[in-house]
């Protein structure tokens, strides 16, 4: 079972969510598209995810659904990263804009 967020982790993920979808930002240069928290898995052990301070925000279409001409990270990781950047790049972009 996933570890529950403490107060500082919750504050951080709230800021990331308020920033909006990082893939939409890469496409348009504008933040603010509502999204979901995604835990990058790159650099983690098999079946593990990053901690609460290493998360990005992705809209539903970029996270799971691949709709409206957008590629979803969970539908095609390689296609997603070739179009929007790898998870580390997206994490750094997110952290730089908080």
What value does the mean pLDDT of the chain take? Answer: 91
Backbone angles phi, psi at 58, to 5 degrees: -130, 135
Short-list 61, 85, 86, CA closest to 74: 61
| Residue 6 structure tokens | 């403490």
pLDDT in tens, 13-51: 999 999 999 999 999 999 999 999 999 976 555 556 678
Short-list 43, 49, 52, CA closest to 89: 43
- Whether 59 and 34 have beta carbons less than 8 Å apart is answered as yes
* Domains, the chain: 7-96 (3.30.40.190)
The percentage of residues in the chain with a pLDDT greater than 90, rounded to a whole number, is 79
- Whether 59 and 90 have beta carbons less than 8 Å apart is answered as no
Residues 44-71 have a mean pLDDT of 84
What pLDDT score does 3 carry? 75
């Amino acid at each position: 079972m996933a570890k529950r967020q403490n107060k500082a982790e919750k504050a951080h993920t709230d800021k990331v969510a308020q920033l909006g979808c990082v893939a939409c930002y890469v496409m348009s240069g504008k933040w603010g598209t509502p999204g979901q928290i995604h835990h990058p898995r790159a650099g983690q052990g098999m079946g593990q995810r990053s901690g609460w301070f290493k998360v990005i925000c992705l809209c539903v279409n970029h996270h799971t659904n691949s709709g409206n001409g957008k590629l979803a990270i969970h539908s095609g990781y390689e296609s997603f990263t070739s179009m929007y950047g790898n998870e580390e790049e997206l994490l750094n972009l997110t952290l730089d804009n908080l």
